[in-house]
A and B are shown apart, each in its own frame.
Chain A
Amino acid sequence: MDTKPVTFKRPSLEQSAGFDRSVIDYIQNAAAHGLYEIRGMGAKRKLPHFDDLVFLAGSLSRYPLEGYREKCVTKTILGTRFAKKPLELDIPITIAGMSFGALSANVKESLGRAATAMGTTTTTGDGGMTPEERNSSKTLVYQCLPSRYGFNPDDVRRADAIEVVIGQGAKPGGGGMLLGQKVNPRVAKMRTLPQGVDQRSACRHPDWTGPDDLAIKIQELRELTDWEKPIYVKVGATRTFNDVKLAVHAGADVVVVDGMQGGTAATQTCYIEHIGIPTLAAVRQAVDALEDLNMKGQVQLIVSGGIRSGADVAKALAMGADAVAIGQGVLYALGCNSETYIQNGEHMSAIEGYDALGTAPGFCHHCHTGKCPVGVTTQDTVLEQRLQPDVGARRLKNYLKTLNMELTTIARACGKQNVHHLEREDLVALTLEAAAMARIPLAGTNWVPGVNGF
């Protein structure tokens, strides 16, 4: 009698859902190195997002505006609560804070030039203000971060607004990180660090703890700038309803809420994928907090974290945001994850660079290595030349222009003469999750899960 177990062909190649090849690879990497994975960009997992909402445009019950001929205002004013000099932007789309160190000086210049051309703001990052970005940006937001690298009163005075960063969507509760490969002499000097150290930033501010202290810290920044400049408070999306209320209590002019799809130049994957809530859920909580405090319109809300298209911008605005901030989308516009980089007008292949990192265009998240094959997230003297400010500025301007055109196209279709008139009533949800998180009815129904007791 045959005593061997009977083998079946199908199960012998059946992949486990819980322990798929990616999970096995993760476990075996952990076993080999005793160290967690660090990478760049934001959450890669599929999340409820703006894709799960659609607009109800004009028809018989509402009428649309003529797409090209009728006016649709995009002007956006930020910082009306206390600042003597609020910011007046031409479009509600801003450039998110990204550091010199994470990005090259050429990139910072590109961002400034494109933002200036489009009448919007760009933002410094964890590493201080570079002359490249100050000189190229008409309106520059200066971040005050826990590390205070390169932070100084002259730059506070040179800034047009100040953003106190409490957290970031990619890593709420965590500080910044810049691995040694990117800490070149200039970065090291700006951050007062030894060259080549694996730099870890603090996760809490050095001189205040909690919302009551923050109120005094904000007052210090106001006193220092004679109450002229708008003060933003940026939070990574977690307990967003409470955090936004506390930021308002602390005296913010503008609250920036960054959802978990928000990117980073380097952090532990466990942060990126497992900490924070999706942007869609965060926007709703943030708007609820402002409405609860009767502060809608007095304190402006900027939403970031995975904003890619004009449709995303329109949905964020309809949900109640005053503006959005974009980080990763901006990098992709510059050529991040592209097969080529542009040198003297010619496309050059970057494939070898991706190969060396063990990745390929469309998958790369190796910002943390400083070996960006297209010269975006690098401090390498050779690689950084792959992104020239002229090319970067033009591409980014085109991207922002496209987003703005899409935004106004949608707004006109909904019959709005001003993009800020988009409202929740213009939206319906395609999935139960999105309907519940955004508290927007499921398409074709008037059902909002969790509302009115069912």
Chain B
Amino acid sequence: MSKIREAFLNKKAFIPFITCGDPDLDTTKKAILQMVANGADLIELGIPFSDPTAEGPVIQGANIRALAGGVTTDIIFDFVKDLRKEVTIPMVFMTYANVVFSYGAEKFISTCKEIGIDGIILPDLPFEEKEEFLPLCKQYDVDLISLIAPTSENRIAMIAKEADGFIYLVSSLGVTGTRSEIKTDLASIVKVIRENTDVPCAIGFGISTPEQAKKMADIADGAIVGSAIIKILEQYKTEAPEHIGAYVKSMKDAIR
């Protein structure tokens, strides 16, 4: 069983996202330790990309700040290697296909395995293109996470059948960012997913409040939160970790 599955074992998973190096890696580390201490089940670590086309303004801002701060893929690999001494819950990278491709796919994916990264989420790598990295992911035992969207319809079964780790169910149309209301009929999408796989399914995009997290975790196996956490970083900068800890606690408590 992949280590990612453990995050969903007998519980609803809360999955916070953070962009590595926003505004600096010291803050990222403190924030992650706060997330872990307050009940995060799996952590999504963003490797910044210059042109993150699936992100709304909030996470775009995190990418810009992190790159301006000077982080690179190599620096983040060293950071994670060090972080693994203290963090035992599963961690996945979230980045863009070009970051993996340009580094050299084999070098990138084998390094993930070596430093203790359990999976990779690439929002610009749909089912049709997953052969780009899947054989290497299988070889090095790193889960390539599949995404399913509100527009997937006839594609849900096909994607779910071949999914590894967990399924990232995109809650709404559009890019990342908080939303006051999520209108998609997610329950019927989850039903089709469950008919086709036992891989757990977590919902992300637009979730910011404990009420939303509870609702999503009731429908699926977990909730993913990104922009709401980045907003705390935007507001409190290096003082953010403590506030992130309190926020993660409120979200995890809501879905317990």
A binds B: no
